[in-house]
Chain A
Amino acid sequence: MIQESFSSGRSPIHSLAPRTRTLAAIILSLVVALSHNLIALVTALLIAVILVISARISLLKAGRRLLVIAGFLLLIWLILPFTCGGEILWQNSFLSISRIGVDLALELTLKTCAMLLIFLTLVSTMSTADLAHALHSLKLPPKLVLLLLITYRYLFLMEDELQSLLKAAKIRNFRPGTSLHCYKTYANLLGMLFVRAADRAQRVHKAMLCRAFDGHFHSLEEYHNRPRDYYFLALIVAISALIVLAETQAITWPHIF
């Protein structure tokens, strides 16, 4: 279900402490999210691509991940340029393309791609367990960390249970279709999955109580920052400062359209 296909690599990025990577991803994505200036955003996208390359993730694989959001972006490009009004770039009898619409769509596209690539390189290059520990050491509330860990742990079991329910339906000649019987069957499968999940949650909670769980999450990991972690963070902060500078100085995008 979750492959974590980028989590076990050898690259300068992988050798950084998970906490450093998480913190860098948070800083960068925050800056990108708040920027509107196109030059700032193009810079951010370039930085993200450089990060992808330095994490030794193949650009093809990274591109395939970007396809996931392509549909969402396509929708934006289909709607925004035609609905924003303002200065008109091009028009015919029933359609007009507005400059604000195009700029907005471009901004959203750059932001989305930059942030996805940043998370791809900085966060998906660690295991979920490492991410949880990084978040814990960044003072995320322990309950949320535990929620993440346990979700990750039991997702696989839930998938197993779903698969076994589906198999049970299949061996009794159930075929997906568009009939009321089919919808009812799916509803029952889903309901059963919830019941089983609730049941398991209770058993897991009992098992936790048996091991003296008192609501506090203690992590076994101890992270020690190495010089490279500080250098990397300093670099990220400097890049972020540059992006912020581009934003606040309002260096304008030369209109190409």
Chain B
Amino acid sequence: MTEPPASAPLLSLKGLSFNYPERPAIINQLDFVLNEKAHIGIAAPNGSGKSTLFHLIVGLLKPSAGKIIYNGREISKEEDFKLLRRQVGLLFQHADDQLFFPTVLEDVAFGPLNLGKSKAEARALSLKVLENLGLSDFADRITFKLSGGEKRLVALATVLAMEPKVLLLDEPTAGLDHATKHKLIDLLNSFKDLSYLMVSHEFDFLTETTEHIYTMENGKILVDEELHIHHHEHAHRSGKQPHRHI
């Protein structure tokens, strides 16, 4: 893990709280700061409120208390969130929820068209994003006939086509095969100018793609900046073969 460049806070959460009806607070007095160009991972078990946190940040859920500050402005009204969503892209846990057009190109162009780009601009931008992700051949493919890994990458393309400054990635590796996972690692490492916050329960994936890994407990993000030297041995079948864990 490398030290992040010192830079201004882009997104901060102050005392954020949220609970689903009739349930205890799943997000409880949470404080968090995401700097520009910072790449942060959150490793936490399922049900710890990671997805809820992301939905709160982009205003899909309303917090019961606390503030969301983006670029120095407090975001509270739906109008503010609409502007925020142009710059903060959320990659959903289930790619199927995110791809709603029959063809890949239309789906990727949906965001840019909504942002008021012309058809020609939206088409050019979408093709460029697809090309950057190595998906040039996918433009005319039918979205529901893609494999799980392909869907995830296309979903990422739809988010990137909005030209966001911040990416929120919700379990980006869930259901991915080895090759696609490595492709995703390379892609994320190439996003130097983008900040991203990623939740995943795959620790190895987080170490390869982020500078800091935090955890979530009791509705709070815990920052553990101390280095803990540790090593461990482990055994499994075929362990003699040279291999990596991810």
A, B co-complexed: yes
Selected from A128, A209, A220, the residue in CB contact (under 8 A) with B105 is A220
Contacts of A156 in B (CB 8 A): 144
Please determine whether B109 and A220 come into contact, CB atoms closer than 8 angstroms.
yes
Return the chain B residue nearest A127 by Cβ.
B102
Contacts of A206 in B (CB 8 A): 55, 60, 92, 97
Please determine whether A210 and B101 come into contact, CB atoms closer than 8 angstroms.
no
CA distance A85 to B226 in the complex (A): 95
Contacts of B115 in A (CB 8 A): 212
Please determine whether A218 and B113 come into contact, CB atoms closer than 8 angstroms.
yes
Residue B119 lies at the interface, judged by CB distance under 8 Å to chain A: yes
Please determine whether B114 and A153 come into contact, CB atoms closer than 8 angstroms.
no
Selected from A149, A203, A220, the residue in CB contact (under 8 A) with B119 is A220
Looking at chain B's contact residues, the main secondary structure is: helix
Residue A242 lies at the interface, judged by CB distance under 8 Å to chain B: no
Looking at chain A's contact residues, the main secondary structure is: helix
Please determine whether B98 and A207 come into contact, CB atoms closer than 8 angstroms.
yes
Please determine whether B162 and A220 come into contact, CB atoms closer than 8 angstroms.
no
Interface stretch (choices B83-91, B185-193, B217-225): B83-91
Return the chain A residue nearest B83 by Cβ.
A212
Residue B58 lies at the interface, judged by CB distance under 8 Å to chain A: yes
- Closest chain-A Cβ to B64's Cβ sits at a distance in Å of 19
Please determine whether B58 and A200 come into contact, CB atoms closer than 8 angstroms.
no
Residue A250 lies at the interface, judged by CB distance under 8 Å to chain B: no
Residue B213 lies at the interface, judged by CB distance under 8 Å to chain A: no
Please determine whether A212 and B100 come into contact, CB atoms closer than 8 angstroms.
no
Return the chain A residue nearest B143 by Cβ.
A153
Residue B122 lies at the interface, judged by CB distance under 8 Å to chain A: yes
Contacts of B114 in A (CB 8 A): 211-214, 216, 218
Contacts of A241 in B (CB 8 A): none
CA distance A206 to B98 in the complex (A): 9
Residue B74 lies at the interface, judged by CB distance under 8 Å to chain A: no
Residue A166 lies at the interface, judged by CB distance under 8 Å to chain B: no
Please determine whether A207 and B106 come into contact, CB atoms closer than 8 angstroms.
no
Contacts A129-B106, A157-B144; is A207 near B89 (CB within 8 Å)? Answer: no
Q: Which residues of chain A in 187-224 are interfacial with respect to chain B, using CB atoms and an 8 Å cutoff?
A: 200, 203-204, 206-214, 216, 218-220, 222
- Closest chain-A Cβ to B78's Cβ sits at a distance in Å of 10
CA distance A27 to B55 in the complex (A): 48
CA distance A214 to B123 in the complex (A): 20
CA distance A156 to B122 in the complex (A): 27
The 22 listed contacts between A and B (C-beta, < 8 Å) are A129-B102, A149-B101, A150-B100, A153-B143, A154-B100, A200-B96, A203-B92, A206-B92, A207-B97, A210-B60, A210-B90, A211-B111, A211-B114, A211-B162, A212-B85, A213-B110, A213-B114, A218-B110, A218-B113, A218-B122, A220-B106, A220-B123
Interface residues of A (CB under 8 A from B): 127-129, 149-150, 152-154, 156-157, 200, 203-204, 206-214, 216, 218-220, 222
In the A-B complex, the 8 residue pairs with the closest CB atoms:
A218-B113, A212-B114, A211-B111, A129-B102, A203-B97, A207-B98, A206-B60, A220-B109
Interface residues of B (CB under 8 A from A): 55, 58, 60, 82, 85-86, 89-90, 92, 94, 96-103, 105-106, 109-111, 113-115, 119, 122-123, 143-144, 158-159, 162
